[in-house]
């Protein structure tokens, strides 16, 4: 992971620590979900954590970009932080995953509001097929 000097240099330790704690907490919540009802209950909390983590990471990434530009400006070797790239990719994938899950649950829950006389099976099949292909 990061050394203390890198964390201090990038964000004075605080932002990354909060991000790491949020991701760890989110991971433990997801791991503890054993039923669909429990998973649905925690979906909102997980989405909130991802959103908070993303905004904190965006601040961290901005500072990293500024410091990298400073290194280039003064002719220093640009320090690479592969963990930052990995975290950025993982947050992006998590947002896509939970976004898709939220869309699926919204669609399925919307089907309960349709009257039997108004059910359009072809439309429902098409919507589910579209979600499956995402």
Task: Please give the pLDDT value at position 63.
Answer: 92
Report whether 111 contacts 124 (CB < 8 A). yes
Token pair 């503890």: residue: 32
Residues (pLDDT < 70) of the chain are: 1-43
Q: Which helix (H) or strand (E) holds 114?
A: none
pTM: 0.59
Task: Please give the pLDDT value at position 12.
Answer: 42
Q: Is the dihedral of CA 35, 36, 37, 43 positive or negative?
A: positive
What is the residue-averaged pLDDT of the chain? 75
Task: Please give the pLDDT value at position 5.
Answer: 40
């Amino acid at each position: 992971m990061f050394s203390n000097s890198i964390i201090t240099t990038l964000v004075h330790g605080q932002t990354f620590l909060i991000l790491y704690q949020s991701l760890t907490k989110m991971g433990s919540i997801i791991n503890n979900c054993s039923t669909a009802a429990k998973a649905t209950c925690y979906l909102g909390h997980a989405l909130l954590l991802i959103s908070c983590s993303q905004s904190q990471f965006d601040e961290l990434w901005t500072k990293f970009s500024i410091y990298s530009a400073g290194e280039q400006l003064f002719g220093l070797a640009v320090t690479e932080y592969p963990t930052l790239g990995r975290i950025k990719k993982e947050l992006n994938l998590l947002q896509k995953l939970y976004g898709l899950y939220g869309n699926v649950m919204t669609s399925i829950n919307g089907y309960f509001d349709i009257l039997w006389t108004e059910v359009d099976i072809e439309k429902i099949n098409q919507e589910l097929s579209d979600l499956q292909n995402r």
